[in-house]
Amino acid sequence: MFVVEQAGTIRIVENGKVLPQPFLDIRDRVERGGEKGLLSVAFHPRYRENGLFYVDYTTRTNRLYTHVSRFRRTDEHRADPKSETVVLKIHQPYSNHNGGQLAFGPEGYLYIGMGDGGSANDPHGHGQNRNSLLGKLLRIDINREALPLRYTIPEDNPFIGKFGHRPEVWAYGLRNPWRFSFDALTKRLYLADVGQDDVEEIDVIERGGNYGWRVMEGDICAPGVNPDCDRTGLKPPIQVYRHPEGFSVTGGFVYRGNSIPGLCGVYLYADYVTGRLWGLRYDGSKVRASREIAKTPYRISSFGEDRNHEIYIADHA
């Protein structure tokens, strides 16, 4: 099991014990603190053969940037920090809402969650600006390069060739898509978008979809920004909860393991602030069932899934 640490290391857990030597240590280049740091790792679908993996982290030269970078392992327990190739570099105007989730989709493309650039109420309007990479879910092909880019654009991305649209964009209108995942059975993409002052939301992402921010926050017009909003063309969330029930949603996975049969097909998610854990069943058109599973003392910052589709929960210390 690999565990990402915000400070800039990736650790290996074997037989319930953390190995003393980090798998990857890039603390020398990671800007950390608050919502910044090393935020995610995604292993290439052919990792066993090529040893390649991708990370998302914040770094600072003269300004703050998100780097999506490729690294290569040297052996089973170590990666070479000098093997870095920066695939994508995105300026971050503020220190929060960095997004950070990376995941390979069922077709082998890399999906990248990017927050709206931070501050509050999306002051630069990135969420609805399709010529910005911020406030988006991006989708790129890292197996081919179109130099000087270290990637190409999948042919079925929705905004290819459209003036004023970045072709990397798969979906938009997002505030802080901290965690998303694919259902191992249906391949459906679930995304948890952290709210501003009132609502946390769960979305099922569709190609080219507009998920509303900052026109809306969850299922309501964005308070103080668009009190009488036009909802035309916006994709509503499949599930919301309101403050103070929770304050910062952490998306999980649809459970497809065998250890807890009663949870099979249930999408698990949690709240970072309150430690509450919920589950819902979605049939492709609406949520059929939803319930609280546990109240925990943890700051649930992330979920993980192993090859047997068992789910792990991470606590932010």
Q: What is the pLDDT of residue 224?
A: 77
How confident is residue 152, by pLDDT bands cut at 50, 70 and 90? very high
pLDDT digits (tens, 9 = 90+) for 83-106: 999 999 999 999 999 978 999 999
Is pLDDT at 22 greater than 90 in this prediction?
Answer: yes
Cβ contact 54:86 at 8 Å: no
Q: What is the pLDDT of residue 237?
A: 99
The Cα 113–Cα 136 span in angstroms is: 6
How confident is residue 275, by pLDDT bands cut at 50, 70 and 90? very high
Is pLDDT at 27 greater than 80 in this prediction?
Answer: yes
Cβ contact 288:281 at 8 Å: yes
- Stretch 213-227: mean pLDDT: 91
Cβ contact 30:51 at 8 Å: no
Q: What is the pLDDT of residue 211?
A: 99
Query: For residue 181, which of 292, 247, 256 has the smallest C-alpha distance?
Result: 256
Q: What is the pLDDT of residue 61?
A: 87
pLDDT digits (tens, 9 = 90+) for 168-195: 999 999 999 999 999 999 999 999 999 9
- Stretch 108-116: mean pLDDT: 99
Mean residue pLDDT of the chain comes to: 97
Q: What is the pLDDT of residue 118?
A: 97
pTM: predicted TM-score of the whole model, two decimal places: 0.98
Strands 38-43 and 52-60: antiparallel
Q: What is the pLDDT of residue 75?
A: 96
Q: What is the pLDDT of residue 68?
A: 98
Q: Label residues 98-108 b or e (16+ Cβ within 10 Å = b).
A: bbbbbbbeeee
How confident is residue 226, by pLDDT bands cut at 50, 70 and 90? confident
- Stretch 271-298: mean pLDDT: 98
Is pLDDT at 7 greater than 80 in this prediction?
Answer: yes
Strand partners, 237: none
Q: What is the pLDDT of residue 227?
A: 81
10 Å Cβ neighbour count for 298?
A: 15
How confident is residue 281, by pLDDT bands cut at 50, 70 and 90? very high
Q: What is the pLDDT of residue 99?
A: 79
The CATH superfamily assigned to 93-315 is TolB, C-terminal domain (2.120.10.30)
Cβ contact 253:271 at 8 Å: no
Q: What is the pLDDT of residue 234?
A: 98
